[in-house]
Amino acid sequence: MKYPSGYSVRFSDDGEMLVCLGRNVVVIDVAARQRLSTSHPLSHPSNACFSPDGGTLAVKSTSGRIVIIKPRSGEVLFDHRNQKDGEGGEVQFSPEGDMLVDGSWGGGLTVRQAMDASIQFREQFPGEMIRRVTHDEARRNWLFEHSPKFRPGETSRPRSYAVLRNWPFGSGDRRKITFGFDVANTTLSPDGRSICLIEKPIERLHVARVSDGAVVASSEPFDHGGTGNEIAWSIDCRHIASVQARKFVFYRASDLAVEGEVVSQY
């Protein structure tokens, strides 16, 4: 098949489905190489995630609005109409698939029921943006990237940092990790033991231990990917993929040695 353009893509937990977000939300049967659905449930979709069983798909727009659809048909099951929350980090399903977790650029961390409008947990971090939300394979360990905003009179923005939390969240379960430099794209490994991140503004990958936040591997600096960088772990935690300028680069996670690359014009 001819794959659609997708500036954000996600697999289902079992790897059987792939969603590509462009103007439309396109869900693909990976093995059959066929489209399951093409829908336009909202304007400007920015990220999406499958429920643990693959039965539903949450789609978040650049306005922060979240809708729940059936991935195999594109039918809208519920519209949260929460665009007042504003744009932010990824939307993710809870371990049981009954709740959604997302962060906003307004500093809000929200846990809401997936299929109704009730809020189960919310914390606000004034003066900060929650730019990224990731979790381990079991969705029991979570990592949030916090980025302080510029304040009047400041000559530079304070450094971004990571916060580790365990499911279910409570007000006192946070553990802050700083790295001694500004960071982006902090991503928890599937086994929950390591964090991969990009150092800014040098543009260099690092792998750090969750246990103490110590950096254990670093890559050579690389060229920025244009509209942004993205990184992802392999499910066995042995490899890390990185979007860079005009190519995808694959690293060995243990020491960040380059294993291969694929040239891509865009």
Sheet holding 34-39, edge to edge: 8-11, 17-21, 25-29, 34-39
Identify residue 248 by its one-letter amino acid code.
Answer: F
- Tell me how far CA of residue 229 lies from CA of 74, 111, 210, 238, in angstroms: 29, 27, 22, 20
Residue 176's pLDDT band (boundaries 50, 70, 90)?
very high
pLDDT attached to residue 175: 96
Predicted TM-score (pTM) of this structure: 0.95
Structure tokens at 23: 């103007």
pLDDT attached to residue 154: 75
Calculate mean pLDDT across residues 7-21: 95
pLDDT attached to residue 226: 73
- Tell me how far CA of residue 182 lies from CA of 76, 146, 150, 261, in angstroms: 39, 11, 14, 26
Q: How far apart are the first and last CA of the chain?
A: 20
Kind and range of the H or E element at 43?
none
Per-residue pLDDT tens for 94-141? 999 999 999 999 999 999 999 998 999 999 999 999 999 999 999 999
pLDDT attached to residue 157: 78
Closest-CA residue to 190 (of 139, 145, 229): 139
Burial 170-180 (b: 16+ CB within 10 A, else e): eeeeeeebebe
What is the DSSP annotation of 198-256?
EEETTTEEEEEETTT--EEEEPPP----SS---EEE-TTSSEEEEEETTEEEEEETTT-
Is a pLDDT exceeding 90 seen at residue 266?
A: no
Q: Tell me the pLDDT of the chain averaged across its residues.
A: 95
Per-residue pLDDT tens for 29-75? 999 999 999 999 999 999 999 999 999 999 999 999 999 999 999 99
DSSP at 98: S
- Tell me how far CA of residue 13 lies from CA of 10, 51, 134, 210, 237, in angstroms: 9, 8, 14, 23, 15
Q: By the 8 A CB rule, do 244 and 223 touch?
A: yes
Calculate mean pLDDT across residues 89-94: 96
Per-residue pLDDT tens for 220-264? 999 987 777 899 999 999 999 999 999 999 999 999 999 999 998
Q: How far apart are CA 186 and CA 208, in angstroms?
A: 10
Closest-CA residue to 90 (of 114, 118, 110, 113): 110
Structure tokens at 195: 């964090």
Per-residue pLDDT tens for 144-161? 999 999 888 777 778 999
Highest mean pLDDT among 1-5, 155-159, 211-215: 211-215
